[in-house]
Structure 1
Amino acid sequence: MIEIDRITKIYNGVPAVDAVTMTVESGTITVIVGTSGSGKTTLLRMINRLEEPTSGEVRINGESTLEIKPHLLRRRIGYAIQGHGLFPHHNVARNIGAVPTLLNWPKDKIRARVDELLTLFSMEPAEFRDRFPAELSGGQQQRVGVARALASRPDLLLMDEPFGALDPIIRARAQDDLRRIQRALGSTIVLVSHDMEEAIRLGDRVAVMDGGQLVQHGTPADIIANPATPFVADMVGDMERPLRLLSLVPLAEVVEDGGAPGAALPADGSLRDALSACLWTGRTAVPVEREGALIGRVTLETIRARAGLRA
């Protein structure tokens, strides 16, 4: 869906983004990750021309973004930022409906879309539609910010550190929300983060930036197992690598027959979740359920074997 072709941005003779080429497939989440100053945000902003490239080209569905007027391009691309950027003097409904209003959607269609998105984000429309941003929690504000970016059914959603201002518990829930909604809508998302944990948790593909260059682009498993440079290896972390690998393995993939005591974990949970449950409660196995029905168990022995951990 998105082809980034040798895109370059130079400031004062220094390349902030240096001849980056990559493809983003439709219906996937790609996370661009790197340290401060690596060029990740500049790369993201060149996709919707908030930053104009010095050279190179971005194509969306085969069409060069340089051939589209910037304001028209941005109406086709959702954009969500850290801190949500809501209009404080507009209620939730007006915030979410901002772009559809610019596109002259009928009022009844806008209202239906607002209610649809609030429901999707587990926010009851009758309760939240007329609230103002100051009356929402940080997590709720972020949900509304993402809902606003999705309101006009854009071809693409760009997200710049969208969860950076949230505390760890709310951040994890917001990440889960985004993944669930992306799967439900089939959206294409490009997200910038400085957090490799977030990149691995969310990304179908991870693009690692260092010094303005794309140093590795692959699946989370590729990035963890085969870091292309010492910088990527540092981002992954040697000590954390087994745990990151466990986070990519769903329980349904390794569940075995048998029972186990204690609370069950969902089949779409990860081996990392199961390891945490075992260590926290002192169990040697955890039961696994799907839609409320027990389907088996996962043992601590299996978890350790998959991670290469010693007993």
Structure 2
Amino acid sequence: MIAIEHLTKRIGGTTIVDDVSMVVEAGTITVVVGTSGAGKSTLLRMVNRLISPTSGRVLIDGTDTMTIAEDTLRHRIGYVIQGNGLFPHWTVARNIATVPRLIGWDASRIDQRVTELLALFQLDPGEFAGKFPHQLSGGQQQRVGVARALAAEPGLLLMDEPFGALDPIIRRRAQDDLLAIQRRFGTTIMLVTHDMEEACHLGDRIAVMHEAKLLQYGTPAELLIRPAEGFVERLVGSSERPFRLLSLAKVRDAVEPGDVPGSPVDPDLNLRDALSRLIWTGAERLPVAPEQGRPGGHVSVAGIIAHGRSSMRLSE
């Protein structure tokens, strides 16, 4: 668990981060969102002490980070930046092995970990371990950057605009890769973005910052249904809010009984994408693929709309 207590950073007469307090629960993803200059990246860098706070403190599992040697602290925290920061003249394998080598892992353990992570990110070790960063696509570089951050098995991963340089298709794939990895390892993640769509897709909780202050901190549904007045309302967007709320629920949450013809919908698909598919195909209903312990059934335009309305009422 990360406890951020009254964290403040001032440079000269300018306040970059202003008295921010929040708790990031272990094993969750917290997304810090806001416009450029809101203080998001500075907040993240104070967690691993790349920037020292003017006042306040950060506790990781109850320990004040100021009592931990800087090198020790940073070796325990994975860190991913936009553009990945891969060393251009090192191979993929050596890039991934950076922190394990620094902290003294033996060669066989390092080799095993590099192979495991490459396979996990669907990068064939025989093909990719000896390549250099310039020989990889943007999406492959991104995966190597995340693999390097996870190499020493950190309990905490900090990510600063990690997907900002990727095109939309590769970006969504990278986001889904991250969710799969987080579910597998249970890593606690703090991720900075300016994109509310990305925040809703990835975050268990979202922290909205504006002009150095933390304006609201809650689940995606809480922010969409009850946004704080002013900046947060504008950020979540009045016209987009219903569709973003639908994106938080899965098809399995709105399955109706009965078989219907058509190509089956994955029960793990979110309701916004399911509604898009229904509209695109001109169908009122589509079958839902069965999953273990659950029958199939179908999903419908009317059922999805009713589910969205019900979610709004239950949360008010």
Name the residue aligned to 1:108.
108
Question: Are 1:277 and 1:286, in contact at CA under 8 Å, matched by a contact in 2?
Answer: no
SS at match of 2:88: coil
SS at match of 1:289: coil
Name the residue aligned to 2:247.
247
Which structure 1 segments of 5+ residues have no match?
Answer: none
In 2, the alpha carbon distance for the partners of 1:252 and 1:306 equals 11
Name the residue aligned to 2:125.
125
In 2, the alpha carbon distance for the partners of 1:297 and 1:228 equals 36
In 2, the alpha carbon distance for the partners of 1:20 and 1:220 equals 19
Name the residue aligned to 1:32.
32
Name the residue aligned to 2:202.
202
**How far apart are residue 291 of structure 1 and its match?**
5.3
In 2, the alpha carbon distance for the partners of 1:213 and 1:223 equals 16
Matches within 5 A, 1:179-198: 179-198=179-198
In 1, the alpha carbon distance for the partners of 2:253 and 2:27 equals 23
Aligned Cα root-mean-square deviation (Å):
1.5
Name the residue aligned to 1:139.
139
In 1, the alpha carbon distance for the partners of 2:5 and 2:307 equals 38
In 2, the alpha carbon distance for the partners of 1:230 and 1:262 equals 44
For residue 83 of structure 1, what is the amino acid of its counterpart? G
1:93 aligns with 2:93: yes
**How far apart are residue 286 of structure 1 and its match?**
2.1
Name the residue aligned to 2:233.
233
In 2, the alpha carbon distance for the partners of 1:196 and 1:247 equals 12
SS at match of 1:152: coil
**How far apart are residue 144 of structure 1 and its match?**
0.4
For residue 277 of structure 2, what is the amino acid of its counterpart? A
Matches within 5 A, 1:207-222: 207-222=207-222
Identity of aligned residues (%): 58
SS at match of 1:143: helix
**How far apart are residue 307 of structure 1 and its match?**
3.1
Name the residue aligned to 2:305.
304
**How far apart are residue 261 of structure 1 and its match?**
3.5
**How far apart are residue 296 of structure 1 and its match?**
1.6
In 2, the alpha carbon distance for the partners of 1:235 and 1:123 equals 36
Name the residue aligned to 2:313.
none
In 1, the alpha carbon distance for the partners of 2:235 and 2:113 equals 40
Which structure 2 segments of 5+ residues have no match?
Answer: 311-316
1:59 aligns with 2:49: no
Deviation string, structure 1 residues 194-215 (Cα, Å, up to 9, x no partner) = 0000000000000000111111
Deviation string, structure 1 residues 19-52 (Cα, Å, up to 9, x no partner) = 0000000000000000011101100000001110
SS at match of 1:178: helix
Deviation string, structure 1 residues 178-226 (Cα, Å, up to 9, x no partner) = 0011001100000000000000000000000011111100000001000
Question: Are 2:3 and 2:59, in contact at CA under 8 Å, matched by a contact in 1?
Answer: yes
In 1, the alpha carbon distance for the partners of 2:296 and 2:119 equals 30
**How far apart are residue 308 of structure 1 and its match?**
4.3
Moved more, 24-33 or 221-230: 221-230
TM-score norm. by structure 1 comes to 0.96
Matches within 5 A, 1:11-50: 11-50=11-50
In 2, the alpha carbon distance for the partners of 1:51 and 1:223 equals 29
In 1, the alpha carbon distance for the partners of 2:271 and 2:261 equals 17
**How far apart are residue 233 of structure 1 and its match?**
0.8
Deviant stretches of 4+, over 6 Å: none
In 1, the alpha carbon distance for the partners of 2:291 and 2:151 equals 30
**How far apart are residue 303 of structure 1 and its match?**
1.4
1:78 aligns with 2:92: no
Question: Are 2:254 and 2:307, in contact at CA under 8 Å, matched by a contact in 1?
Answer: no
Paired residues in the alignment total 309
In 1, the alpha carbon distance for the partners of 2:124 and 2:208 equals 38
TM-score norm. by structure 2 comes to 0.95
For residue 179 of structure 1, what is the amino acid of its counterpart? L
